[in-house]
Amino acid sequence: MGTKSKTSSNRKRGRGVFCLEGDWWGITDTTSIEPALELLKSSGQRAFDYIHRDVGVVAELEYYLAKWTQRQLARYPILYLGFHGDEGCVCVGDARRREHKLSLDWFEERLEGRCNKRVIHFGSCGFMAKDARRLRRFLRRTGALAVCGYKGDVGWLESIAFELLLLDEFQECAWDAGRGMAGVNRRLRKHAAGLARMLNFRMVHG
């Protein structure tokens, strides 16, 4: 079997990932998306950077979302939100408390008009099980190129495997309105069709 050589000189600069992640299974649990990001960063054909921050309370999420939308972080156009979730909401902190369930409206208010040439992946169970018209309104009001995630419950390993492919496609695609994101969606459904169906993956783009 042949080997692939990879040097810094032939790796093109990729698009950075801004990852915000909550506690998954309790305060002592060490489960994290970050090792997967590091794997992709070290193995892809495009060198890309990522920022990973742990988020324990709503105020932290709000703070980091505001940071992500600033001009100096434009080279991190992929927002990856890794939290527990439900239909149209993300759970931050103690999911038993109503005020810690953040709706699509909550995100729309904070990101309105601030996501030009950016994409948002909700790595949360069920978040994308919303009416398509509502999701398209979210795109219009935020200005994002695409929003994606899952319509139902997902397994940890299966979702991580799929998200490695998703983030890699975001590195490779043309970064333009509509066409590039449609290409990402099409290739994922061709080359990772089984995972896409199993996870009830959904992407809405312009």
Q: Which of 57, 37, 53, 204 is nearest to 127 (CA)?
A: 204
Compute the distance between CA of residue 67 and CA of residue 79 in angstroms, rounded to an integer: 11
Tell me the per-residue pLDDT of 3-50, one tens digit each, with 9 for 90 and over: 444 444 455 678 999 999 998 887 788 899 999 999 988 876 667 899
Bridge partners of residue 17, in order along the sequence: 50, 78
What's the mean pLDDT when you consider all of the chain?
A: 89
Domain ranges of the chain: 19-205
Q: Which CATH architecture has domain 19-205?
A: 3-Layer(aba) Sandwich (3.40)
Tell me the per-residue pLDDT of 105-142, one tens digit each, with 9 for 90 and over: 999 999 999 999 999 999 999 999 999 999 999 999 99
The residues, any chain, with a CB within 8 Å of residue 53's CB and separated by 6 or more, are 19, 20, 21, 60, 64
Place of tokens 């109503």: 98
Q: What is the CA radius of gyration of the chain?
A: 16
